[in-house]
Structures are given as C-alpha cells and as structure tokens.
Amino acid sequence: MAGHSKWANIRHRKGAQDKKRGKIFTKIIKEITISSRLGGGEIDSNPRLRKAISNAKSNNMPADKIDRAIKKGSGELAGVVYDEITYEGYGPYGVAIMMDIITDNKNRSVAEIRNLLSKYGGNLGETGSVSWMFDKQGQIIISAEGYNEDTFLESVMKVGAIDFKRDNDIFILETTPETLLEIRNSLERDGFNILSAEIEMVAKSLQKLSPNQTETIIELFDNLEDNDDVNKLYSNIDFV
C-alpha cells in the first residue's frame, strides 16, 4: 500500500492535538452530547455516539464525564443545547478550509470565525465553495510501539482497510466511513492501541506553500483550534 503526502496533514493535526490536550476534553464532551441528542443515548443503536465514546476512552476521559455528557444530550440531565454546522472558506494564499462547528450560539461562532479568517486575509464562503475539494474517509491512528509493518499488514489485510502508512511512532490507516468502527473494533480485539478513529475530510490534492506562508497558516489554524466551537478543522495545505 503506497504512501502519499496527504499523511502530512494527519501528522500535523495529531501534533496539534497533543499540544492542546486540555481542550480535547471540551470538544469530546460536545461531540458526545450532540451525538446523544441526535441519535439517542443508547450506545448499541447510535454508531456516532459509540465512536465518540471510543474516542473519549482513547483520550482517558473519566467515565463519569462521559456518562454526564450522554445524559445531557438525551435530556436526562439539564444542559446546554448544541447545534452542528459546517463552515467553508479560504485562508491566506488561497488555502481551502473546512470546519465542523458545535456551538450553543451560532451568531457568536460565525462572528468569531469570520473575524479570525479576515485577520489573516481569508474569508468565509458559501456552502459547497470548497467541500468539492475533499473526500470523506475513515482514518484510524494506532500506536506502532512494539509492532513491525509486516505484523500490522497482516491485520490490515484481514480487516479490509484501503491504505496505511507508518509515520514514526504511529500507524495511520485509511478506511471507508462505513467500515471505520468495524475495522477499529477488529484491530482493538487484536490488541492494537487505538489512539483515534475519526471520519475525516481529506483533500483530493494538496497545496504547497513557502516556509513563511506555512508558518502563517499554522498560526491561523492554532487560533481556530483554540476556539471551543471548532470541533474539527481540515485544509488542503501540504505540511511536508
């Protein structure tokens, strides 16, 4: 299975998450809450909630926080009502950006995101303005510690993944969105340490920038990801 420069985006996102572990819990709680509100609080009948809880456990979130988030979403406990929105637009240098937003105040969110993009010379676009540049894929990040590629390849071939790459201390596995949870569970049963399993928007082609331009984009992304309403952020920049 061949590698591709698309993996650089995943590596950058993982690095950014590692630096902001404190904000991860806030965003996971929002995801669990809205998953429970939209699909109900029963894990077996709600795949999105099941994935969110798996992600929470992978990030060592305490069980009581997970339980409270589920109950707030399903209405068993009083809590904030969240809405889910996708924003599309451009950053500086024509970089395409997509953001999954979970917010309790749409007006606040759109104003804050618009202002940030504008500060860096970007702008929000209409629905569909950049989404055509991305494909939806399942992506699983797995600790490579204690495994070689041959051993991992045997498990990957068995579960029917599309592609995989080793990147230093992690394996990055590509799946279809529909098979993400099935493959994740199979690899977990085989003893692999799953760091995350997410549905991602992966750029069909990547845009190369100069080092100075990349530094500016990373600064913008850091500011966007610091916003508690930004659940996920995707772009077509090549971080290599």
Domains and CATH numbers, the chain: 7-74 (1.10.10.200), 83-132+205-235 (3.30.70.980), 134-203 (3.30.70.980)
pLDDT confidence tier of residue 2, bands split at 50, 70 and 90: very low
**Would you say residue 234 has pLDDT above 60?**
yes
pLDDT confidence tier of residue 4, bands split at 50, 70 and 90: very low
Q: How many CA atoms lie within 13 A of 205 on its CB side?
A: 3
Q: Which residue has the higher pLDDT, 150 or 86?
A: 86
Q: Are 30 and 236 in contact (CB under 8 A)?
A: no
Say which amino acid occupies 65: K
SS3 139: strand
Cβ neighbors of 22 (< 8 A, separation 6 or more) are none
Q: Are 141 and 14 in contact (CB under 8 A)?
A: yes
Q: Which residue has the higher pLDDT, 121 or 13?
A: 121
Provide the H-helix boundaries in the chain: 7-19, 21-39, 47-58, 63-74, 106-119, 149-159, 180-189, 211-226
SS3 131: helix
Cβ neighbors of 230 (< 8 A, separation 6 or more) are 27, 99, 100, 101, 113, 224
What is the helix, strand, coil percentage profile of the chain, to 5?
50, 25, 25
pLDDT confidence tier of residue 116, bands split at 50, 70 and 90: very high
pLDDT of residue 192: 83
Q: Which residue, chain included where needed, has tokens 């920049």?
A: 237
* CA gap 57, 116 in Å, rounded: 32
Q: Using one digit for the tens of pLDDT, what is the confidence trace for 170-198?
A: 888 888 888 888 888 888 888 888 887 88
Mean model confidence pLDDT for the chain:
84
**Radius of gyration of the chain measured on its C-alpha atoms:** 18
